[in-house]
Every structure is written in C-alpha cells, then in structure tokens.
Structure 1
Amino acid sequence: MKKLIKKTLLSLILISTSACSNGGNMYSETELKKMLDFDCVIEQKPAIPQETELLYNYAHYQDLHRLWTGKAGDWNDLAKYYRIAAANGNYKANGRLQYLLYSNRIIAENNKKEVIELNEKLEKILPATAYFGYYFYLKKGYGVKTILMGELSYLRRAADLGNRDAQYIIAELLRRVKDKKSLAIRNEVWVKLFKCSSEQGNKDSSIPLALDYQIDGKYAEAVKIFHEGVKNGSGKATNFLMRAFKSVIPENDPLYYLGIKTADSERAIRYEMIKTYLSRNEFLDPKVPDLDEIVPLPPAKLPAWDGKIAFQRWFEGPSPEKPSDELMKKLAEKAGLDWQTGLPLKK
C-alpha cells in the first residue's frame, strides 16, 4: 500500500505560495511536480447491513420532509433510528446523524461529543470520509484542538484515501494560487483531482472539469462530464446541456459551444425539466443516477419518460414503513443501546 500522505496540504500550499513570492525559483519543476502529485483513489464503501437500511430509509424520508419548515429539535424523534443504524455499521446513518447534530436539528445532551464519537466510529469503516469530517470540524473549531492549520493534514489524507469532497477542495485551493510559473503543473493536478471527485459524485467538481475540456476544445469530453454532472445533481451542468441542445450554438460562443451541430428540442426540454427540479429542490441534494434512462447522450434514442426523476418519485411517494419495535429492540440490543433513544444503556 502506498504511503497515505505524500505531503500535507499545508506543505503543498506553502510550497506553491513560496514559489509565487520568490518568482517561482525556490523549487525546480521536477521537485514541485513531485510535491503536488496526486493519484486518484476511489473511496471503497463497505456493505451496509440490510436490516439497518429499514431504519435509515424511514428516518431519511421523514428527515428530508422536515428540511423546509423544521426548527431546532424537530428531528429529535428520528435520532434513535439513525443512532441504532449507525451503531450497526450503516455509514450513511452515521454521516446523516453527524450533520443533524452539528446543525442542531437534533438537540442532544452533548452534540459536539456525540459528533466526534460518531466520526471516530466512522473512521473504522470509512476512513476517507472520517478524515474529511475531522478537517471540517477542526476548521470550524468544532471538536478537538490541533496545531495551526493542522486540519489541512486531514484534508490531504482524506483526498489521498479517496474522499471526493476533499479532492474537490484541494483542486480549488490549487486553482487559487497566483503563480504563473507553476500553472501548468497545478493545472495537471487539479484536473486529476476534479476528475476523480466528479467520478465519485461531487457535482461541484463536474463543472470546472467540463469547462476545462471545453476551453481546450475537447467538446465530446466536456459533454460527457456535464452529463456526469447532471447525474451528480448539478443544475448548472444541466443548464449547459439544455442550452447546447435547444438551438445550434455558434462556434464563436466561448461559454456555451460544445460542438453539438444539430438542435434537439426534446432533449432540451427534458434537461430543462430536470434543471428546474434540481434548482428548486437544491436543499434536498437530489441526484439523477437514472439520467441515462431519461436523456441518454446521442446517438441513443430517447426512451419514454413520465417527467420525473427517480428521486422525485421517491420523495413525492409514500413514506417507507416504520420499523417495528421488535427490529429496533433486536438491533439496539446487538449494539448495547437503549432501543427508545439509541443511546448507550446506563450501567
């Protein structure tokens, strides 16, 4: 196994900014390239115990339906489902519970303590995501203390282990460095980071990656990445494709030209409908993994469509069945928890 950390991001940024302030002469091109190097790693998600999904799916449905009007504490009754599912190995329940505690949607006895304990448990099964959590919490001053800017070490570690959000943030940091002499090297690295991140579902990475291909005249690649961005839930990516198919864009349009020579009004309409839903419901963070069943890229023909993405049908449909008390007791006992609260049993 390769070393988890080639260089901390702190060193990476200091190297880049030092190169800038010293006219780019502090390090040779070879040295700088080696320091900035990044190998794409896809985060491997562990299998989720099937019974815990019953708890997660029920809680998640109720959870999302409260996001628009809910106030602090309105999610307290859902905590037990997430806690018990998380304690039995459901990483999705763990992550969502952390968010609800951090944002005070769930009010617990000690929100900070519970969040950090959850992230420590997550580290055992999904370390890349957990390291990104440490970066986020330390940056916000939430949780344990660290050395000055030490949270950046967690960020680089998370990226090297495959966390898509960490990869996106590092790519953006590299893009912001103002140093022309290292631009080519940094461009090579941030494209790799954005590509790796987008492949794993980060919608924010899809846009700069697609635009980079577009600027280079690699229009087919740009279209594929915008398409990937739509799957990742990006309304911006959907808008680019909607415009490209709605009418023939002239080649001298640097913003929207994607090499598409023939307008396709039906494709444009479908993209526009998806864009509208994604934009209006951004707070739900919807994804479109079923995009190829709705708007496959040409030359594939358009299939029949009822006008809704799969997430929309799920969200507008009936609630998943509430888990039985028997199942709650069984899973709680297995994890040593109180089945009515999801908290550890008092000794």
Structure 2
Amino acid sequence: MEKTFLRSFFRSPWYIRLGLPLLAACLLFGIAQFTYEHRHIMSNQLRYSQLPLFNPHRTEFTCIQQVAVVPPIDPEANLWFEQGMALTSEDKYEEDKDYKTAAVLWTKAAQRKHWKAQNNLAGLYLHGKGVPLDPEKALQLTEEAMAWGVPQAWDNMGSYHMQGVGGLKPDATVAYAFWQKAADMGAPGAQTLLGAQLLASYDSPKDGFWANKKIGLQMLECALSQGQGAAARKLGLEYERQKTSEGKHRALAYYQEGVKFGDQDSADALEIAFESGPLDYAAPFVDHDRERRYQVFGKALRDNPDLRFPNLDKILPLPPAKLPYWDGDENHLLDSAGEARPVSVEPMSGSAK
C-alpha cells in the first residue's frame, strides 16, 4: 500500500516545482499520514482489540451463559443451518460430505445473523472446505460475529491469535486475553479451557497452568451448565484425583454428564473405571455389563462426536441403580439413550485448544 501511495505521489505534475527539501518533507508527511490512517484502520478491527491481560489470580467470576447474549435465531435461517449440518454430519465419510452446498446454506443463514452458521462458515474458509482457502475471510466473518456480541466468536479469535491465522502473529498473551474476554461473555469452550488450567496446586505459566482452584471450578461448572461435555470430564478428573469416597462418587456423576453431552473421553473413563474397579478408579466395584455399555457409547462418540444422549440415565444409570435389560443391539442402546443431533458445530472452540 505504501508503494501505491508513493507512485501516486510522484505522478503529480506539481512535485517538480517544489524542490527537494520540500519534496522530502511532503513525502515524510504523506507516509506518516498513511501510517496513522493504517493504524487507525487496524485499531478499528476487532481482531486488534486492546483487552485486559489474562489474570489467572482473579478472585471473582460471574457465570454468564452464551444463549442469553447471542442474537435471536431466525427460524428460516435455522432451517438452512440445520440442512448444512446434515450435509456435513460426522456420521458421513469425508468424501460424502457436501461442504460446497453447506457453504451456500450457511451464507444465507449468516446474512440473517445466524451466529452458528457464521462461525461454521468462518471454519470453512479457514480450512478451504467447499470454498476457497481464505484465512482473511475467516477473520472478517469472525469479527462480524464478534460485533454481534457472540462469545464464541471472541473465543475463536483467541485461537486465531494463538495459531497465527492469516496476517496475525502467533501470540499467547493476546490469545489468553481474548479467551478471558470470551469466558466472561459466556463462551463455554473458553470457560472450559481456562477453568481447567486454573486447577493446579502451583503456578507454571510456561506449562499453561495456575493455582486458582476456586475460580477454575466455577468456570467449569458454568461451562457444564451450557452442555460442555469436556467441562464435565475435567471436573470428573479433578474429583477422582481426591481418592476419597465422596470424590469418586462426584467423579462418576460428572463423567456421566460428559457422556450425555457427547464427550468420548468421559465414556472411556467410565468404561475403564467399571473394568478395573475401586482400587485406582472411581467405580465402586467391577461391573463388566456397565463396562461393555460405556464401550458402545465411547465408540459411537469416537465415530461421531456430534451425538448427544439426554436419556442416558434411563438406559445406563450409575450405581446403585440396577441396569435395565439390553438385548445387545448397539443401535437400540444408542437410540434409547436419545441419540440426537447437536445444536451447533464450532470449528475452533476453546475446548479444542
């Protein structure tokens, strides 16, 4: 852009009569003016927001849920969004997914401020699926969602800064500032990421963890209240480490919630627990029937992480409840637990960092 400016300047017919000193002064002024305007434009881009630095030793956290602050969903736009979701479902082979048509549908939905479609569309441009590879377009779409007040978009921008997407330089300090902003706004992925990193017994910034368990647990509970399966798993791990009866009991309950909300690792944790028993794990006894059933859920979530199982407690309750009859058909087990499509797919959420 500076070269274009200089070429335009030297094409002006009056510069020859100025003399070299005045010419130099004009050049310097012009370049300074351009630099100022360029910085002004950058400062107006939300990707360059000047945010408070991440404070791992904060003493307060207010749980805000994302659903309370995002733009309302237009019904027709939501239909387009869901159609795009069906075309790119994780239960399809990659070659059978129709990202191109999904991009058209999500573009239409995003034009009506469907924030989930906007986030997914940014993910397509980021990875070049169904659309040309265009990281700058992904940044612009994310900034637009940020302007709508979408917490997930602020979370995603933090990931872009961490990874150096587009013209951004990789910068962990900036990334954590964005994730902190997103968590405070209500992004469950950012709440999960930061919450888990605050559960340590001492600070080690270079390793990405700090000692602030009170706030860490609050963040994870907030994320779990929004259906974040990974948050349930992090909570389960925290209580299982206590090695107490109460801790193990709570760990089982959190892992169970994790399975409901689509977390494969929670299903794997319960499978291992009931295979091995109480010596090293949270299960109160060895139970191979439960082990086998959690194995089915873990496999299903490994194949399709979009699945959700809201009726899990009816089909696979935790002890001391007795297990209901199962005929051994895996599809029957999954369907009875309430296999369902998710409400969104987030291409770069905090929980995945």
TM-score by length of 2: 0.66
Quick one: percent identity of the two aligned structures?
Answer: 23
Matches within 5 A, 1:295-314: 295-300=316-321, 302=323, 306-309=332-335
Which piece of structure 1 moves more, 169-178 or 229-238? Answer: 169-178
For residues 81 and 311 of structure 1, the distance between their equivalents in structure 2, rounded to whole angstroms, comes to 30
Flag structure 1 segments of 5+ consecutive residues without an equivalent: 14-31, 316-347
1:190-239 Cα offsets, whole Å, 9 max, x none, are 22222322332333332231122122222221111011111222222112
TM-superposed CA distance for 1:277, in Å, is 1.4
Matches within 5 A, 1:1-347: 8-9=53-54, 12=55, 32=57, 35=58, 37-44=60-67, 46=70, 47-64=72-89, 68-70=93-95, 75-108=99-132, 111-143=134-166, 145=168, 149-175=173-199, 179=203, 185-216=211-242, 217=244, 218-246=247-275, 249-250=277-278, 253-254=279-280, 256-258=281-283, 260-261=284-285, 264-279=287-302, 281-282=303-304, 284-300=305-321, 302=323, 306-309=332-335
For residues 79 and 177 of structure 1, the distance between their equivalents in structure 2, rounded to whole angstroms, comes to 45
Change (3 A) 1:287 1:242: same
TM-superposed CA distance for 1:143, in Å, is 4.7
For residues 325 and 200 of structure 2, the distance between their equivalents in structure 1, rounded to whole angstroms, comes to 44
Comparing both chains, which one has the higher relative contact order based on Cα–Cα distances under 8 Å and sequence gaps of 6 or more? 1
| Equivalent residues of 1:55, 1:82 under 8 A apart | yes
Matching residue's letter, 1:197: A
1:143-196 Cα offsets, whole Å, 9 max, x none, are 56589632322111001111111122223443579549xx99522232222232
Matching residue's letter, 1:159: A
SS of 1:307's partner is helix
Instruction: Give the corresponding residue for 1:345.
Output: none
| Equivalent residues of 2:158, 2:178 under 8 A apart | yes
Change (3 A) 1:6 1:87: closer
| Equivalent residues of 1:206, 1:225 under 8 A apart | yes
| Equivalent residues of 1:290, 1:309 under 8 A apart | no
Larger Rg: 2
TM-superposed CA distance for 1:264, in Å, is 4.7
Number of residue equivalences: 277
| Equivalent residues of 2:315, 2:337 under 8 A apart | no
CA-based RMSD of the aligned residues comes to 3.6
Change (3 A) 1:299 1:266: same
| Equivalent residues of 1:138, 1:144 under 8 A apart | no
For residues 157 and 116 of structure 1, the distance between their equivalents in structure 2, rounded to whole angstroms, comes to 17
| Equivalent residues of 1:91, 1:126 under 8 A apart | no
| Equivalent residues of 2:267, 2:297 under 8 A apart | yes
TM-superposed CA distance for 1:278, in Å, is 1.5
Change (3 A) 1:224 1:142: same
Change (3 A) 1:303 1:83: farther
Matching residue's letter, 2:220: F
TM-superposed CA distance for 1:62, in Å, is 1.3
TM-superposed CA distance for 1:301, in Å, is 5.2
TM-superposed CA distance for 1:81, in Å, is 0.5
Flag structure 2 segments of 5+ consecutive residues without an equivalent: 1-49, 327-331, 342-353
TM-superposed CA distance for 1:84, in Å, is 0.5
Change (3 A) 1:52 1:299: farther
SS of 1:44's partner is helix
TM-score by length of 1: 0.67
For residues 56 and 140 of structure 1, the distance between their equivalents in structure 2, rounded to whole angstroms, comes to 27
| Equivalent residues of 1:199, 1:228 under 8 A apart | no
